[in-house]
A and B are shown apart, each in its own frame.
Chain A
Amino acid sequence: MEARKPFDRRKLLVSLFMTVLVALIVLPYVTTAYMIAFLFIVFVHLTLAQGWDIVGGYTGYLNLGYSSFFGVGAYVFATSILYGIHYVPSLLLAGIVTVAFAGVLSLPLFRLRGAYFALATFGIVLLLGLVTRNLAILGGSIGQPVPIFPGYLTYSYYGALCLALAVTLTKYKIVNSKLGLALRSIHEDEEAAEGLGVKTFKCKALMFMVSALFAALMGGVYMIYTAFIDPSIVFGLEITLTPVVMAMLGGSGTIIGPLVGVTLIMLVEELIWTMTPYLHLAMYGAIFVIVGLFIPGGIISLKYFQILRSKLGF
């Protein structure tokens, strides 16, 4: 009897997941545009939080500049559309260029460790923001509109939903593979891992590029939603920090953690923060401080959440 129990739970979880998925797919036909836009933003943050966690949670390298990939993807997508290329190849181009960018960037960045790495990645975002603000050809600091077809909200909704699913599945696959094991060994003790034959640089650079891919595609999809690009949208502090805050609050280095963090923060944002236009950054900061001081493992490491997890069996 005992041995069959986890199997049943798994079945229950899968059927629950399928129901939610079907509901999300038919939702645009039955609900308001406001709801769709809200869910779109949820998926954007979920994709970014999960994508960030591929590097941040598993290898232990805190990438504080994840939005650089989001922004490069968005700029490539917008520029290529402005040159009259169709949306799908533009999106592919955004992905390819950003992955190459991440590959080049990983050379100097992964020579740094710990806090150095975190701050240097943050520097990359500031640098990209500066460059895009100064280059008039990319719209400068004023930005420029991106020509978008009608019905964009539904397209961007489905795009974001697909990406959120894809990044979560990719992360699940990676974590449960040999590569995932290598990543965890890097997290625990990089020298020992290197000594035992783990190609640490290759692993880290590969994960960096995988996480960059999802951010870049999301950047393109986000452009379909906003139909406008400027440096503060794609390289701003808010888009840079929210994924990290969400993943950290939920619990980084897990599949379910970022999901919990995203849900929680999006609900809080929707219910409370929309009333006060000020001090949003300070509130993100406060969450950072609280998590850092009191719950370093995130919400899912708390006692009742552990009990809930063991009961549901995930």
Chain B
Amino acid sequence: MDIGLAVEIVLNGLLLGGIYSFMALGLSLIFGVSGILNITHGEFLMFGGLASYLVFTSLRINPFLLMVIIPPIFLAIGFLFEILFVRPISARPHHALLVSSILVTFGLALIFEDVTAFLGGGVPKGIAFSVPPIIIANIRMSSIRLIALVTVTALVGMLWVYLKKTYIGKASRAIIQDREGAILMGVNISKISMITFGIGTALAAMSGIFFAMLLSVYSAMGLPLTLICLCIIILGGVGNIVGTLISGIMVGIFEVLVGFTWGLSWSPAVPILILILVLMVRPEGLFRRG
């Protein structure tokens, strides 16, 4: 295999993995803080992608400007989601909470997906935006992918600062590590939970923008993506940023490799296969909770 191809595969894998880790981090935060696995997460990604597609086609602005417009909207949607659907069930005892949370979020995911398909979201859509490729030493790289890679890296860095330096970030990590302890230290769980839902949803929507720019967006993409997030979270440990990043990039690179060697129709099988194989050997996943 020549070097250019190898570099391209690795870069594409890194990029896909970066986007995966990014959306998985959002879900991981939500799950860690609220104890609810938000199966609607992938649908918010889909909505983020569709919204950016609609904004882009109607206003014709630079797609990177979408990064400023879309997240605040989805932050608000996340708040609303928490108030409407999570707060009513969050006081239930452990097992009842689990069952109701799966029912509510899975049901909403089905509603969102089906209604979107009904309204014409079933056909894959994407943002057509071309920039000349960069060529270094005979290696051709799509510059939009490189810009996206840089942006994802910057965003993960910002998320890192948020979690390690700000009060809300530290409080959410405290809740993930020890819920009772955090309550005793005076952390307002319901407030933090609402904010986390907002931020997680905004992260999903941002990943949606990348999907619209680099791949395509369609109504049925949500549930499979939530599943990929889940695999990455189990491998990487809930709330563990480094673990999630490494697992996400691993899944991304393997997907690109499998897609290259066996054909694209096989690549969706990669995350769940990795999950099953890893669980056979290491039941607790690859990394600890963060």
Contact partner, A241, options B37, B110, B115, B227, Cβ 8 Å: B110
Interface pair A289/B96, CB less than 8 Å apart: no
A126 at the interface (CB under 8 A from B): yes
CB distance from B241 to the nearest CB of A (A): 19
CB < 8 Å neighbour of A133 from B98, B108, B115, B265 = B265
Known: A285-B107, A285-B108. A119 touches B37 (CB 8 A): yes
A281 at the interface (CB under 8 A from B): yes
Q: How far is the CA of A107 from the CA of B275 in the complex (A)?
A: 12
B46 an interface residue at 8 Å Cβ cutoff? no
For the complex, is B63 an interface residue (Cβ under 8 Å from A)? no
- Known pairs A108-B276, A112-B234, A292-B104; A126 contacts B110 (CB<8 A): no
Q: Does A266 contact B (CB under 8 A)?
A: no
A64 on the B face (CB < 8 A): yes
Cα-based distance from A290 to B107 in the complex (angstroms): 9
Cα A126 to Cα B226 with chains together (Å):
12
| In the assembled complex, B147 has its CB within 8 A of some CB on chain A | no
Using an 8 Å CB-CB cutoff, how does the interface string of A182-224 with B read, 1 for contact, 0 for none? 0000011000000000000000000000000000000000000
Residues in B whose Cβ lies below 8 Å from that of A114: 37, 98
Q: A64 contacts which chain B residues (CB < 8 A)? A: 102, 106
Q: Does A127 contact B (CB under 8 A)?
A: yes
Most buried by A among B31, B110, B118: B110
Interface size class of B (residues with CB under 8 A): 35 or more
- B280 and A282 contact, CB distance less than 8 A: no
Q: Is B39 part of the binding interface, using a Cβ–Cβ cutoff of 8 Å?
A: yes
Query: Would B226 and A119 count as touching, CB distance under 8 A?
Result: yes
Q: Is B273 an interface residue (CB 8 A)?
A: yes
Complex contact A120–B88 (CB within 8 A): no
* CB of A139 closer than 8 Å to a CB of B: no
User: Does the CB pair A288–B103 fall under 8 Å?
Assistant: yes
Report the minimum CB–CB distance from A94 to chain B (whole Å): 23
One of A111, A119, A127, A281 near B110 (C-beta < 8 A): A281
CB under 8 Å from chain A, chain B span 240-290 = 265-266, 268-269, 271-273, 275-276, 279-280, 283
9 contacts between A and B (CB under 8 A): A62-B99, A108-B279, A111-B279, A119-B230, A123-B227, A188-B95, A279-B118, A285-B109, A288-B104
- Interface residues of A, Cβ cutoff 8 Å to B: 60, 62, 64, 107-109, 111-112, 114-116, 118-120, 122-124, 126-127, 130-131, 133-134, 187-188, 237, 241, 248, 278-282, 284-293, 296
Query: Can you add 19 more A-B contacts, CB < 8 Å, to A116-B234, A293-B89?
Result: A62-B98, A108-B280, A112-B279, A114-B98, A115-B102, A119-B226, A119-B227, A122-B227, A126-B224, A126-B272, A127-B273, A279-B118, A285-B107, A285-B110, A289-B104, A290-B107, A291-B103, A292-B99, A296-B96
